[in-house]
Amino acid sequence: GAGVSQSPSNKVTEKGKDVELRCDPISGHTALYWYRQSLGQGLEFLIYFQGNSAPDKSGLPSDRFSAERTGGSVSTLTIQRTQQEDSAVYLCASSRQGGRYEQYFGPGTRLTVT
Amino acid sequence: AQSVAQPEDQVNVAEGNPLTVKCTYSVSGNPYLFWYVQYPNRGLQFLLKYITGDNLVKGSYGFEAEFNKSQTSFHLKKPSALVSDSALYFCAVRDTWQTGANNLFFGTGTRLTVIP
């Protein structure tokens, strides 16, 4: 079946602009995660959605970052007033539920802030 | 707090030789442990996981990993390396003691190069 999809694959933006990144999870997966991967570093957790529960926002680095998940499916990560340190690959993952179930990752969105 | 260490940034192995990619972890409760592989310009792919039960787990592409509770390790192994195994490998852990924390905590990755 179809995997996790993300769009755009690449985004170049000017410092101070807002950007929206989209994630389409695997159908039927109730858990959705956003991570950030910076050059030479591991994955940094950003936010987690599980069904209709309140999202776990504990990983968001600042209030410029926000995310929503509509209808328990598609998710959008928004970064307002982008800074150069926001440049990274943003990865979305989904799983059947949280916890013991493996996460399936999308190809990522490479964000470059100039 | 949970953490994962991958002590080797780079591992080189000759094709046909056994390979090991090391991972150690620190958690407050019992761990769920995962290995992922990332090929160039692609997302992470799940290889295998340890949840409970048999300490030796087998996964995709002939990989296996052994959970060692006393050494808090979960090393990834393969008996005979292929050139196509060259990629970036990530170990990840979830601490089951931390209720509500369903995200994975990832190591910084180990780049495996298999030399023909």
Model confidence pLDDT, tens digit, residues B21-37: 999 999 888 889 999 99
Q: Which of A22, A21, A37 is nearest to A73 (CA)?
A: A22
Evaluate if residue B104 carries a pLDDT over 60: yes
Residue whose C-alpha is closest to residue B13's, from B74, B77, B100: B77
CA of B9: which chain A residue's CA is closest?
A: A40
In this prediction, residues A85-100 reach a mean pLDDT of 89
CA distances for A27 relative to A20, A30, B5, angstroms: 22, 9, 33
* Confidence (pLDDT) at A94: 94
Strand partners, B78: B19
Compute and round to an integer the Cα radius of gyration of chain B: 14
Which site among B3, B9, B94, B102 would you substitute to test the A interface, given the most A Cβ atoms closer than 10 Å to its Cβ? B102
| A54 near B CB under 8 A | no
Tens-digit pLDDT profile for residues A5-15: 999 999 999 99
Give dist(CA B89, CA B34) in Å, integer.
11
Model confidence at B100, pLDDT cuts 50, 70, 90, reads low
pLDDT: which is higher, B95 or B16: B16
**Do residue B101 and residue A56 have CB atoms under 8 angstroms apart?**
yes
Kindly determine whether residue A99 and residue B109, on different chains, have CB atoms separated by under 8 Å.
Answer: no
What pLDDT does residue B2 have?
Answer: 81
The predicted pLDDT at position B29 comes to: 83
**Shortest CA distance to B21 belongs to which of B7, B38, B31?**
B7
**Is A60 a residue whose pLDDT tops 70?**
yes
Q: Output the pLDDT for position A51.
A: 84
Residue B114's pLDDT band, with cuts at 50, 70 and 90, is very high
The shortest C-alpha distance from B115 to chain A (Å) reads 22
Q: A82: phi > 0 → left, psi -120 to 50 → alpha, else beta; which?
A: beta
- How is chain B split among helix, strand and coil, in percent rounded to 5? 5, 50, 45
Q: Determine the pLDDT at residue B1.
A: 73
Q: Which of B43, B101, B109 sits opposite A91 (nearest CB)?
A: B43
CB A37, CB A91: distance < 8 Å = yes
Residue B79: which region, alpha, beta or left (left: phi > 0; alpha: psi -120 to 50)?
A: alpha
Higher pLDDT, B91 or B43: B91
Residue of B nearest to A59 (CA): B103
User: pLDDT of A4-55, one tens digit each?
Assistant: 999 999 999 999 999 999 999 999 899 999 999 987 677 899 999 988 888 9
Number of CB pairs, chain A paired with chain B, less than 8 A apart:
57
| Chain A residues touching B88 at Cβ < 8 A | none
User: CA-nearest residue of chain B to A37?
Assistant: B108
What lies within 8 Å, CB to CB, of B82 at 6+ separation is: B15, B114
Q: What pLDDT does residue B75 have?
A: 98
Alpha-carbon gap: B32 to the closest alpha carbon of chain A (Å): 6
Interface test with A, best of B39, B44, B45, B91 (most A CBs within 10 A): B44
The pLDDT value given to residue A39? 78
Reported as a single tens digit per residue, the pLDDT across A66-87 is: 999 988 799 999 999 999 999 9
pLDDT at B99 (0 to 100): 60
Residue B101 has pLDDT above 70, yes or no: no
In three-state secondary structure terms, A48 is strand
Quick one: average pLDDT of B1-6? 87
Distance, in Å, from the CA atom of B47 to the CA atom of B23, rounded to the nearest integer, reads 14
Residues of chain A contacting B105 with CB distance shorter than 8 Å: 45
Per-residue model confidence (pLDDT) at position B98? 64
Q: What is the mean pLDDT of chain B?
A: 92
Distance from C-alpha of B40 to C-alpha of A17, rounded to nearest angstrom: 29
